[in-house]
């Protein structure tokens, strides 16, 4: 008698109920699910040979995780097997909602008590940028965030950065302090000599303008560096 192969699992409904992402989310909360399972909920169905969780795993592998999916052009997503325009749009929309959530203030404006607090507000967004961006976080007298404004897009170096532009919005909005933040698209947040030179010029100008420069953060891929903590440009 010939042994038959088990039926391949192509659909979420073919999984045991306790293993289905939607049921797991309802029972355990979204934090208990893997990234692939969360994507599977957006996709709802898989393709021939792959259930939705496996499609989610493939997408994460092909694009290098959620950051890669965030960076990927829409057309590259729709080129993936099993993703049409509707599913690609759902994934892009969900990631964008997550990005915006990190920028939204709670009932009270978030207070910055450490470099990690500031990095947490921008890490998700800025680590996915493919060019250098320089942003300035404006703070009130209690170190609560008033706004984060973008000042430069492109190479951030001492010959191009105009210090006056760094403080323009801070003065206009009567900010008491600022934190300067820029990203390294390479993923390595190690400060360059230009980063240190820019920081030194900004700190000196802040003293003249009576605006405290609390820090300069460099954002990399999944990590960041505080120039203040390293004593670079602040001495």
> What pLDDT digit, counting tens, does each position of 37-81 carry?
999 889 888 888 888 888 999 999 999 888 888 888 899 999 999
pLDDT of residue 100: 76
Strands 145-153 and 212-219: unpaired
Question: What digits encode the pLDDT tens for the residues 103-143?
Answer: 665 445 778 999 999 999 898 889 888 889 999 999 999 99
| Cα separations in angstroms, 148 against 56, 116, 130, 134, 138 | 33, 16, 19, 10, 6
Q: Do 134 and 199 lie in a common domain?
A: yes
d(CA 70, CA 123): 13
Per DSSP, the residues of 187-217 read S--PPPHHHHHHHHHHHHHHHHHT-EEEEEE
pTM above 0.75, yes or no: no
pLDDT tens, position by position, 202-213? 999 999 999 999
User: Do residues 99 and 198 share a domain?
Assistant: no
Q: How many domains does the chain have?
A: 2
Of 44, 68, 103, the one marking the end of a domain is 103
Q: Give the confidence band of 27 by pLDDT, cuts at 50, 70, 90.
A: confident
Residue 134: per-residue pLDDT? 93
Domain boundary, last residue among 103, 136, 155 = 103
What residues make up the domain containing 130?
Answer: 115-226
Domain harbouring 124, CATH code: 3.40.140.10
- My answer on whether 216 and 119 are in the same domain is yes
Residue 2 counted as domain residue: no
Domain match, 129 and 79 both = no
């Amino acid at each position: 008698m010939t042994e038959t192969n088990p039926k391949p699992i192509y659909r979420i409904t073919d999984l045991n109920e306790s293993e289905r992402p939607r049921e797991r989310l309802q029972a355990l909360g979204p934090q208990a699910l893997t990234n692939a399972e969360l994507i599977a909920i957006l996709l709802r169905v898989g393709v021939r040979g792959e259930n939705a969780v496996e499609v989610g795993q493939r997408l994460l592998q092909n694009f290098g995780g959620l950051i890669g999916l965030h960076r990927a052009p829409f057309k590259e997503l729709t080129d993936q097997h099993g993703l049409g325009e509707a599913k690609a749009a759902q994934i892009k929309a969900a990631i964008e909602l997550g990005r915006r959530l990190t920028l939204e203030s709670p009932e009270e404006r978030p207070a910055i008590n450490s470099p990690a607090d500031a990095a947490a507000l921008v890490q998700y967004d800025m680590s996915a940028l493919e060019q250098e961006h320089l942003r300035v976080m404006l703070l009130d007298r209690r170190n609560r965030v008033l706004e984060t404004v973008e000042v430069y897009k492109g190479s951030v170096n001492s010959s191009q950065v105009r210090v006056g532009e760094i403080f323009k919005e801070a003065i206009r909005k009567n900010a008491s302090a600022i934190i300067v933040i820029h990203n390294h698209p390479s993923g390595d947040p190690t400060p360059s000599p230009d980063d240190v030179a820019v920081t030194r010029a900004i700190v000196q100008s802040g003293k003249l303008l009576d605006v405290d420069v609390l820090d300069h953060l460099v954002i990399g891929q999944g990590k960041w560096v505080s120039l203040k903590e390293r004593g670079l440009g602040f001495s």
